[in-house]
Structure 1
Amino acid sequence: MQDFLQLSKAEAGQGVTEAAGAGYAVVSSHPLATSQAQRVLQAGGNAFDAAVAGAAMLCVALPHACGLGGDCFAMVHDSSKNEVWSLNGSGASPQALPPDLSSSQLGLGPLSCGVPGMVGGWHAIHQRFGHSTWASLIEPAARLAAEGIEVCDDLAQAFRLFDARVRRDTGLGKLFLVDEQLPVVGERLLQSPLSRSLQAIADNGPQALYQGTIGQSICQVLQAQGGSMSLDDLSTYEPIWSHPLRSKYRGLTVNVAPPNSFGLFMLLQLLALEDTDVQEQGLLSSGRLALLMRAARTSFAHGLSYVGDPSHVVSPQEALSPVAAQALREGMRSISPARSVSKSQGTATISVVDKAGHAITLIQSIFKPFGAMVADAATGVILNNRLAGFHPQSGHPNSAGPGKRPAHTLNPVMVTNGGRLKYLLGTPGGSGQTITLTHVLSALVDLKLSLRDSIAAPRWSMDLAGGLLIEPGLAEGVAAGVPAQLREQGLDVQVAVGERFFFGSAECIELADDGRRIAVADDRRDASCAAGN
């Protein structure tokens, strides 16, 4: 790949951090989570224990991105049976959700909150696969919340961008304002209410949230502001275990979470690309980028009616049929229209593989930064705004309704080769998750790049209106002519400066043929990785 090797680090995209070991590997969205997962593994816990402990730590380190008021999805590999499972830890809308809500009401505020499924998802993983005690996995996060964390760049930037909105909500203000100021990078943030809630969950299990005082307090705060969530909605919550949604790409099996996850959109992109000459295109060529862009646009258009509450949409296998594949390929030959997408800084991931080969990719979120912009100061819980994922058109399979799970951007991915686990892939980035991971997997498989180089390479994404964005590395050096070449093909791209959050932060693990576990953390955000023997 000469066009890649000639690039300087600045031109190539972003830096990455890599760790490799013969025993285990961890990669996550924050060093505190990576370190805690590593400690659990070194103390004898398995990959599932480590992921739950790291996920709890992410809630303390990145409260704008994920927390007890959010959701999760996971892909799980049980090496003892060589099986891959999908966990849907997303929540449904309240049963008393009013009809005919506007997009703005569903998008932000007390009526935008779905039942928080993350804690239930953690517990389901632990009950089925964990070895360590539940309390031992949650208590370290509770202690750290009380002791305080050093504010990282991602959290500080969220405070800067959403200063006015954070101040507007009484609960958020009580949680984060100190002497009328929001914390900046390096300052210490104490989260005593969150610490108490985490300790209650450590002591009493998920029922502390779903049936106890935490849930009661959350519902009171929402209802006081006009929300409709009740303790009955919380107490009846159950996560969903299922087989993954699968498709082949160049002989590999790509496993994603079924709807309501956006995972289908990644499979559709790969299906559209398989009949192209993307393998013959250079990494930074306009030809390759054009194929990736067309594949994404036509896949979002084609798959939209299949992604929603599992009980309200047609089987996603229909979208992957030979007839559908032909429609995708025809769409690739035209310029698909732009569609609005969701930008999100409110997501964090953790992936772990252990000595026994057990593995998990877990992704969790409150969706937009600070979720619904509604927090319960007594419990430290920031509520999600996941009902923004409903389609605005009445009668659409993904339209809003009581007790429905909305379409969900979270997209954990596992790739197997001949039945053997090969890659764990995850990234934050809203709708751009499937775009980022398709870019990474194509570079790995089509161009035979290393995991490190596939993640570091500059990439493309979409803005909120569906407009096409490219990183500066795709408009500089040997790639300087790329923007003009794409525009000549009818793809009106813009160079994104200072918009790193559109491009995610790929956090991935490779199980190499020589037995090593290779973890790579993308420096586009505060990700980190670790590995050992």
Structure 2
Amino acid sequence: MTTRPPTLSTRGMVSSSHPAASTIGVQVLADGGNAIDATLAMAAMTWLALPGQCGIGGDAFAVVREPDGRVWTVGGSGFGPDGGETDFYTDQGLTSIPLDGPLGVAVPGAPAALAALHANGATRSLSDLWEPAAGSAERGLPCSAKTLQDIREAHLAIALDPDLAAVYLPGGGLPHVGQQLPQNDLARTIRSLASDPADFYLGSFAQKAVSTLRERGAPFSGNEWADGFKVDPEPAIAGTYAGAVVYQTAMPTPGWMVLQQAALCDRVVGYSPWMAAPAIDRLASAARLAFEDRFALCGSDNDEWRTLLLPDTVARSRASLDAKSRRREFSVAGGDTTSIVAVDSDGRAVSFIHSLAFTFGSKITVPGTGVVLNNRFGRGAYLIPGHPNSASPRRKPVHTLNAWIAADTAGALLHVGNTPGGDGQVQWNMQLLSHLLDHGLDPAEAVAAPRFTVYPGSDSDVIGQPAELRCESRIGKSTLSELRSRGHDVTLQGAWDGGGSAQVISLDRERGLLSGAADPRQEGIALGV
């Protein structure tokens, strides 16, 4: 596998993890749409192009930079069921919420987030922007290698859901790469959702979804589902790194963890050679500290994360890392998510990410709709009484998704990026920022750089597993040996097997050029106009 050079453009650019999504996004820009329009069109196309990774029944978050420098976010993440107290699950003998089936489902936040994004800056109707996806659903988008991999991973569970099996196990067996996978039910749902997003939460779709989940044992009342439509734009949270301002998504996302790592690594990592052992050691140690702090302190309905970014707290944590006095025995699981970035000719930029949590989410559909439901509640909520992230009504489980934009101190756009990958996201996004801001890598070099990951993070199903530092082999033997000598339990991965599918677009203001790239670890592409 080789690294492709970045795509260059002077008018606008998009990048995603699938060519069909990037193609529709760049067409929207070419037709005069803005970056929000392009993002909305790409998001819908990825429902077809990467169905194991995202969908209408999942969650979504975005960071938007306006041409005047203002930065705002939308956060689409729903509550678990109103009857989902911790003891509802523990009384059934469960030690964690099941990842497959109705008990793992949270109210999907993606439709509400997309509707809020549309209402606050789009120039085209949702019906226009989503019709290409609806048409592709009717015809059947060709199965990609990534989708086949996802189907193979989840095929036993897919076979148990008649609607899923009808699409993804045609004739009772695995599809082949290039085989068209028509989804007429989903096409109808996309068109209905485009005309009235509120129906998903307040109308006939909501009634069908809640009835389905209740019949299968999930304690939804319907009220928590209705409240899922309440998504309003919020200011981004922000920190600094290497002289830049980094904007991130707020709770329930772990965007603050990227800002915490940035504060712990600033003026340290950049002073080491690129990808040298001291730099990797500091980045990995900062990530472990962030995961420990999240597990100990943070839930979606408290502000404890803010204390971790206070100067005094950061100073104490930096001192402990400098002294090597904290060797973390905390560990991250991969995730199934996909991300999108877009910049238009006015300088408006969007970083967008959406997910079903794990591959094909809960592996169940709302019958007759084509909508696969997430398993975010099973993935994110703990069954630990009294914990700030324990299962509790009207408490959103902590999230893995986050998105970022970097600007200079005057507010001018520098970079927009993100990556899927579960708890790897907050680590790999920090690595991207270091590549771009500390070392001046271009987007193609940044997304293809050797990757490393502390494992595990704080997903409910991996807490307490032995700590590892997972490293792609391209990091090199001497560096890996030094990392072991620094106390890391290094696990070797294949040269390109670290996970994720990063997207980056950068602005070169001197030349008036945008440059962008999609991670070669997946099938994505950056395109410009």
Partner Cα separation in structure 2 for residue 498 and residue 151 of structure 1: 25
Change (3 A) 1:322 1:463: closer
Correspondent of 1:153 among 141, 145, 148: 145
**Corresponding residue for 1:357?**
347
Report the CA distance between 1:198 and its aligned residue. 0.5
Correspondent of 1:292 among 277, 283, 288: 283
* SS of match in other structure, 1:424: strand
* SS of match in other structure, 2:314: helix
Moved more, 61-70 or 502-511: 502-511
Conservation of the 8 A alpha-carbon contact between 1:16 and 1:455: no
Conservation of the 8 A alpha-carbon contact between 2:86 and 2:390: no
1:506 aligns with 2:502: yes
Conservation of the 8 A alpha-carbon contact between 1:217 and 1:378: no
**Corresponding residue for 1:367?**
357
Change (3 A) 1:498 1:447: closer
Question: Which deviations, in whole Å up to 9, do the C-alpha atoms of 1:14-63 show, x marking residues without a partner?
Answer: 63462111110100121111111111111221111111011011111111
Change (3 A) 1:176 1:393: same
Change (3 A) 1:200 1:92: same
Conservation of the 8 A alpha-carbon contact between 1:258 and 1:316: no
Partner Cα separation in structure 2 for residue 143 and residue 291 of structure 1: 48
What is the correspondence of 1:264-413 to structure 2 with a 5 Å cutoff? 264-276=256-268, 278-305=269-296, 307-309=298-300, 312-332=301-321, 333-344=324-335, 346-387=336-377, 388-413=379-404
Conservation of the 8 A alpha-carbon contact between 2:254 and 2:400: yes
Unpaired stretches in structure 2, ≥5 consecutive residues: 457-464
**Corresponding residue for 1:244?**
236
1:77 aligns with 2:77: no
**Corresponding residue for 2:461?**
none
Correspondent of 2:105 among 105, 109, 113: 113
Conservation of the 8 A alpha-carbon contact between 2:52 and 2:150: yes
Q: How many residues align?
A: 509
Correspondent of 2:86 among 77, 99, 120: 99
Partner Cα separation in structure 1 for residue 265 and residue 69 of structure 2: 28
**Corresponding residue for 2:220?**
229
Change (3 A) 1:251 1:264: same
After TM superposition, where is structure 1 displaced by more than 4 Å over at least 4 residues in a row?
none
Partner Cα separation in structure 2 for residue 427 and residue 226 of structure 1: 34
**Corresponding residue for 1:485?**
482
What residue identity is the alignment partner of 1:186? G
Question: Which deviations, in whole Å up to 9, do the C-alpha atoms of 1:145-187 show, x marking residues without a partner?
Answer: 0101111111111111222222233442233221111223222
Change (3 A) 1:275 1:20: closer
Conservation of the 8 A alpha-carbon contact between 1:193 and 1:377: no
* SS of match in other structure, 2:102: coil
**Corresponding residue for 1:261?**
253
What residue identity is the alignment partner of 2:386? G
Partner Cα separation in structure 2 for residue 110 and residue 75 of structure 1: 30
Report the CA distance between 1:275 and its aligned residue. 4.7
Partner Cα separation in structure 2 for residue 251 and residue 485 of structure 1: 29
* SS of match in other structure, 2:415: strand
* SS of match in other structure, 1:104: coil
Partner Cα separation in structure 2 for residue 329 and residue 352 of structure 1: 35
Report the CA distance between 1:267 and its aligned residue. 0.9
Question: Which deviations, in whole Å up to 9, do the C-alpha atoms of 1:74-105 show, x marking residues without a partner?
Answer: 001111x3200011111111223243224532
**Corresponding residue for 1:188?**
180
**Corresponding residue for 1:216?**
207
Partner Cα separation in structure 1 for residue 317 and residue 291 of structure 2: 10
Moved more, 370-379 or 429-438: 370-379
What residue identity is the alignment partner of 1:316? W
Change (3 A) 1:16 1:372: farther
TM superposition score normalised by structure 2: 0.92
Change (3 A) 1:498 1:104: farther
Partner Cα separation in structure 1 for residue 267 and residue 127 of structure 2: 50
Moved more, 151-160 or 211-220: 211-220
Question: Which deviations, in whole Å up to 9, do the C-alpha atoms of 1:453-478 show, x marking residues without a partner?
Answer: 2222211013444421001211xxxx
Correspondent of 1:61 among 39, 49, 52: 49
Partner Cα separation in structure 2 for residue 308 and residue 260 of structure 1: 8
Change (3 A) 1:242 1:255: same
1:471 aligns with 2:499: no
Question: Which deviations, in whole Å up to 9, do the C-alpha atoms of 1:377-399 show, x marking residues without a partner?
Answer: 41111111111212342212221
* SS of match in other structure, 1:105: coil
Conservation of the 8 A alpha-carbon contact between 2:298 and 2:304: no
Conservation of the 8 A alpha-carbon contact between 1:351 and 1:362: yes
* SS of match in other structure, 1:32: helix
**Corresponding residue for 1:6?**
none
Partner Cα separation in structure 2 for residue 306 and residue 17 of structure 1: 42
**Corresponding residue for 1:30?**
18
What residue identity is the alignment partner of 1:182? L
What residue identity is the alignment partner of 1:518? S
Partner Cα separation in structure 2 for residue 184 and residue 91 of structure 1: 35
Correspondent of 1:41 among 22, 29, 40: 29
Report the CA distance between 1:194 and its aligned residue. 0.9
* SS of match in other structure, 1:111: helix
What residue identity is the alignment partner of 1:22? T
1:447 aligns with 2:444: no
Conservation of the 8 A alpha-carbon contact between 1:51 and 1:352: yes
Conservation of the 8 A alpha-carbon contact between 1:217 and 1:379: no
Partner Cα separation in structure 2 for residue 185 and residue 338 of structure 1: 41
Change (3 A) 1:109 1:17: farther
What residue identity is the alignment partner of 2:494? V
Change (3 A) 1:424 1:103: farther
Unpaired stretches in structure 1, ≥5 consecutive residues: 1-9
Partner Cα separation in structure 1 for residue 52 and residue 499 of structure 2: 18
**Corresponding residue for 1:5?**
none
**Corresponding residue for 1:494?**
491
Change (3 A) 1:298 1:315: closer
